[in-house]
Amino acid sequence: MNTALNMEHFWMPFTTNRQFKAKPRLLVSANGMHYTSDDGRQILDGTAGLWCCNAGHNHPKIVAAVTSQAQQMDYAPPFQMGHPKAFEAATALASMAPKDLNRVFFCNSGSEAVDSALKIALAYHRMRGDGMRQRLIGRERGYHGVGFGGISVGGIAGNRKHYGPGLPGVDHLRHTLDINRNAFSRGLPPHGVEMADELEQRLLALHDPSTVAAVIVEPVAGSAGVIIPPKGYLQRIREICDKYGILLIFDEVISGFGRLGSAFGADYFGVIPDMITCAKGLTNAAVPMGAVLVKQSIYDTFMAAAPENTIEFFHGYTYSGHPLASAAAIATLEVYREEQLFERAAAMSGYFEDAAHSLKGLPFVKDVRNLGLVCGIELDSIPGKPTARAFSVFLKCFEEKGVLIRTTGDIIALSPPLIIEKSHIDQLFGAIGDCLKEQ
Ligand SMILES: Cc1ncc(COP(=O)(O)O)c(C=O)c1O
């Protein structure tokens, strides 16, 4: 370990700073499926970084694209100016997206994508002359980043409680995790489609549909512990939104770019939302970038409503469509296509599922849930010490087994790069199994 490193000044995000700085875990290089730690160990990446390096680390094509762009032009302003790569990146993204979601608003993160999408939804209704539609509906245990919009529609108490009341007029659907009925489901859980009906029967009945602008959900809730939607649930949500003229936003920051074995969760479920928010895998995380994919009819409404020669949407970021991010996105989307990584993820998902469910019956394993190349393993908590059991598995995996996993509460969440091989899958679940036996 690098003992000379001064760790005082970096206030680490979503981290137990004091604990970490007392006993740090540092990564210094990466390649393919592996990180190298500062003590020279190879660490198998079971989490694609943070659900984002879907093509594996340091892909030569992406590295070359970013390097060459950095040499050619560092930055160009995106307000009333442009540069070709932002348009090329938008075209590449639109051509991968579900039909009609062919207008792209760029930003720098998933959080910004979510806040941008919520603003588009509110402004859209106003532009149509239906400005009463100001309510936003999220879901309990939803994660939509850390902006004020995102935490308002989000449903993770710890991310909300310190920050005041959030946006007004927000309500939440129930989350769909039902371990009593659906424990150890392979793929989509069979029970719970009726939970979608509460959108109509409870929330729209209470607020009146004419006040609701948009519903936002993750097709598969990731950060709160991999919650897979019950069969038919997203279809039902779509039907209800259609019935009442409410926009449906899928937050695909995790489920996008092959995680479920298709370009987007929307493709996997055959449910097309009005907007998709994405980030992470968009650039393989080589450069930060987020985007909102918007139905053309929504974009057209903005263009038609704003007077000639005025800005149609008063929103944007200094780094929207940044040249380095655009170059990374173009290269990344090409890599996904050329190497058929989404198809590969789909092909590997059966083996991944079997390996995940082989943990059933091991000590403390309360549930295993999976879809595509994502899986959640929920553990029984140590009485009075929530999160401690999973975190100790995380530490043991990293320190003793050379495997990086992620935990949230007492749930282990796995989301490896899509280039994972069967031998890596064996290593990953083997390490977790051994750690559980050694608890
Ligand atoms: C579904 C979802 N939305 C939004 C975000 C926020 O993305 P970022 O951390 O890039 O702001 C995340 C991050 O994990 C996410 O999973």
The residue assigned the tokens 């970490």 is 20
* Sequence-separated (6 or more) residues with CB below 8 Å from residue 167: 118, 136, 148, 149, 152, 153
Q: Tell me the C-alpha distance between 221 and 370, whole Å.
A: 11
Query: 3-state DSSP call for residue 112?
Result: helix
CB burial string 340-364: b at 16+ within 10 A, e below: ebbebbbebbeebbebbbebeebeb
d(CA 211, CA 207): 7
Instruction: Give nearest CA residue, ligand 1 atom 8.
Output: 110
Going from the C-alpha of 353 to that of each of 141, 184, 274, 341, 415, the distances in angstroms are 24, 11, 31, 18, 12
Alpha carbon of 331 to ligand 1 centroid (Å): 22
Q: Cα of 73 to ligand 1 centre, how many Å?
A: 28
For 285, residues 6+ apart whose C-beta sits below 8 A from its C-beta are: 49, 50, 52, 53
Residue 4 pLDDT: 84
Give 3-state DSSP helix, strand, coil % of the chain, rounded to 5.
40, 15, 40
Phi and psi angles of residue 301, each rounded to the nearest 5 degrees, phi first: -60, -40
Residue 147 Cα, ligand 1 centroid: separation in angstroms? 10
Is the C-beta atom of 117 inside 6 A of ligand 1? Answer: no
The string of DSSP codes covering 378-419 is EEPPBTTBTTHHHHHHHHHIIIII-EE-EEETTEEEE---TT
Of ligand 1's listed atoms, the one at least distance from the Cα of 280 is 10
Nearest-CA residue for ligand 1 atom 13 is: 145
Q: Residue 255 CA: which ligand 1 atom is closest?
A: 1
By most ligand atoms within 8 Å of CB, the mutation choice from 52, 223, 319, 415 for ligand 1 is: 223
145 CB within 6 A, ligand 1: yes
110 within ligand 1 shell (Cβ under 6 A)? yes
Q: Is 342 in the pocket of ligand 1 (CB under 6 A)?
A: no
Q: Which residues of 371-407 are buried (b: 16+ CB within 10 A; e: fewer)?
A: bbbbbbbbbebeeeeebebbbbbbebbbeebbbbbbb
383: phi then psi, degrees, rounded to nearest 5: -50, 130
pLDDT digits (tens, 9 = 90+) for 240-255: 999 999 999 999 999 9
Decide whether any atom of ligand 1 lies within 6 Å of the 378 Cβ.
no
Of ligand 1's listed atoms, the one at least distance from the Cα of 145 is 6
Distance 185 CA to ligand 1 centre (A): 25
Residue 110 Cα to ligand 1 midpoint, Å, equals 4
Please list the ranges in the chain whose pLDDT falls under 50: none
Residue of 254, 257, 264 with the most ligand 1 atoms within 8 Å of its CB, for mutation: 254
138 CA to centre of ligand 1 in angstroms: 14
Decide whether any atom of ligand 1 lies within 6 Å of the 154 Cβ: no
Evaluate whether the domain defined by 63-338 bears CATH number 3.40.640.10: yes
Query: Can you tell me whether residue 76 is helix, strand or coil?
Result: coil
Q: Which one of 249, 280, 415 would you pick to mutate in the ligand 1 pocket, going by the greatest count of ligand atoms within 8 A of its CB?
A: 280
CA distance linking residue 270 with residue 243, whole number of Å:
18
Q: What is the pLDDT of residue 1?
A: 55
| Number of residues in the chain | 439
Query: What is the C-alpha to C-alpha distance for residues 22 and 30, in angstroms, rounded to an integer?
Result: 24
Ligand 1 pocket, residue 143 CB under 6 Å: yes
Rounded Cα–Cα distance for residues 422 and 429 (Å)? 11
3-state secondary structure of 105: strand
End-to-end CA distance of the chain: 26
Which CATH class for the 17-55+340-437 domain? alpha beta
Ligand 1 center–CA 4 separation, angstroms: 33
**Does any ligand 1 atom lie closer than 6 A to the CB of residue 147?**
no
Smallest CA separation from ligand 1 atom 7, residue? 110
Cα–Cα distance for residue pair 400/284, rounded to 1 Å: 28
The reply to whether ligand 1 has any atom less than 6 angstroms from the CB of 109 is: yes
pTM: 0.98
Report CA(12)–ligand 1 centroid distance (Å).
Answer: 17
Q: Which atom of ligand 1 is found nearest the CA of 223? A: 16
Q: What residue ranges do the domains of the chain occupy?
A: 17-55+340-437, 63-338
